[in-house]
Amino acid sequence: MHKKKKTSLKQKIVRAFIYLILILITITTILPLYYVVIAAFNPGNSLFTTKMFPDRLTTDHFHNLFVKKDYGLWYMNTLKIAFSSMVLTIILVVITSYVFSQFRFRGRKGGLMFMLIMTMFPGFMSMIAVYLMLLHVGLLDTHLGLIIVYAGGAIPGLTWLVKGYFDGIPRTIPEAAKIDGAGNGTIFFRIMLPMSFPIITFVSVSSFIGPWMDYIFARLVLRTPSKKTLAIGLFEMVTGRQNTEFTMFAAGAVLVALPITILYMSLQKYLIRGIAEGASKT
């Protein structure tokens, strides 16, 4: 009886310690987000004058983004790049993953190993090569060049994930369809794709978020002011001695995070299912 009390007390202490850590992590995560949101509605330009509970709120910073800045243009440029790269990434990744999962051919293992090795290198290591390639083919300072860079860079990692999902689908399903006379195209579009909706949802969201939030490659490729993305435009608002529009920057950051938040909240179930099933079957 005495041992049970000791065990119960120990479990309560461990549980309380875990809850304390989780609460601290939650606070340190939410507090900066709250501060940025409050700064977006806070009068003035300095973050140092932002109060946790301000006396007055204003929406002037959101209005000035579209009046004094080219925020609308940056937003449309980023939306075009992110959506186009998402569509191209889905097409390339799903087809590549399906081929490596369902077919056996010479060079298959080598190709998979090559893509696995490619995922181990960070993207910025290829910046010089990407710059020279786009320069030689005439795609430097174009949205198309940036779209190709994003889609190509997403293939190795996402292919392994989607392949794992396809591997988890029982092979008896496509084999039964073949017996009934269905071809490879029919099996792919009518059977395998509908069953792969969770992992395709994950690929869609992840390939949209990357270009939406990226600054490094956008800054490398784009030079013309009319082709700027949100990341470039917002960064330039707070860099340099004359650029001190920090509260307007916070307002722009809130508008950037809004569509991503909506995507995650509306597709959370499919995202969790897709990443869990895809990762467990690789």
Spatial distance between the Cα atoms of 152 and 134, rounded to a whole number of angstroms: 13
Say which DSSP state 70 is in.
Answer: -
By the 10 Å C-beta count (0-12 exposed, 13-18 middle, 19+ buried), 269 is classed as: exposed
Q: In the structure, what pLDDT confidence band is assigned to residue 92 with cuts at 50, 70 and 90?
A: very high
Whole-number pLDDT of residue 21? 93
Ordered by start, the domain boundaries in the chain are 2-60, 62-280
Separation between Cα atoms, residue 131 and residue 231, nearest integer Å: 19
DSSP 8-state secondary structure symbol assigned to residue 45 = S
Give the pLDDT band (50/70/90) at residue 276: low
Q: Is 5's pLDDT higher than 90?
A: no
Confidence of residue 73 (pLDDT cuts 50, 70, 90): very high
**pLDDT at residue 80 above 80?**
yes
Residue 4: which residues within 8 A CB-CB, separation 6 or more? none
Q: What is the reported pLDDT for 23?
A: 92
Instruction: Answer whether residue 4 shows pLDDT above 60.
Output: no
**What value does the mean pLDDT of the chain take?**
82
What is the reported pLDDT for 46? Answer: 65
CB atoms within 10 A of CB 79: 16
- Weakest-pLDDT range from 40-49, 84-93, 224-233, 251-260: 40-49
| Residue whose structure tokens are 């204003």 | 58
Per-residue CA distances from 32 to 59, 61, 176 (Å): 20, 19, 54
CA distance 37 to 68: 20
pLDDT at residue 107 greater than cutoff 80:
yes
Least Cα distance to 209 among 79, 60, 116, 93 occurs for 79
Q: How many CA atoms lie within 13 A of 111 on its CB side?
A: 15
Tens of pLDDT, residues 171-222: 888 888 888 888 888 888 888 888 888 888 888 888 898 889 888 889 888 9
Query: From CA 52, how far away is CA 103, in angstroms rounded?
Result: 58
**Distance from C-alpha of 255 to C-alpha of 265, rounded to nearest angstrom:** 16
**Token reading at 234:** 């917002």
User: Domain 62-280 has what CATH class?
Assistant: mainly alpha
- Do 130 and 220 form a contact (C-beta atoms < 8 A)? yes
Using an 8 Å Cβ cutoff, are 217 and 150 in contact?
yes
Radius of gyration of the chain (CA): 24
Of the two residues 141 and 51, the one the predictor is more confident about is: 141
Residue-wise pLDDT for 143-158, tens only, equals: 999 999 999 888 888 8
pTM (predicted TM-score): 0.82
Report the C-alpha gap between 171 and 98 in whole angstroms: 12
Q: Sorting pLDDT into bands at 50, 70 and 90, what band is 7?
A: low
Name the nearest CA neighbour of 211 among 107, 87, 37, 47. Answer: 87
**Do residues 258 and 65 make contact, with C-beta atoms less than 8 angstroms apart?**
no
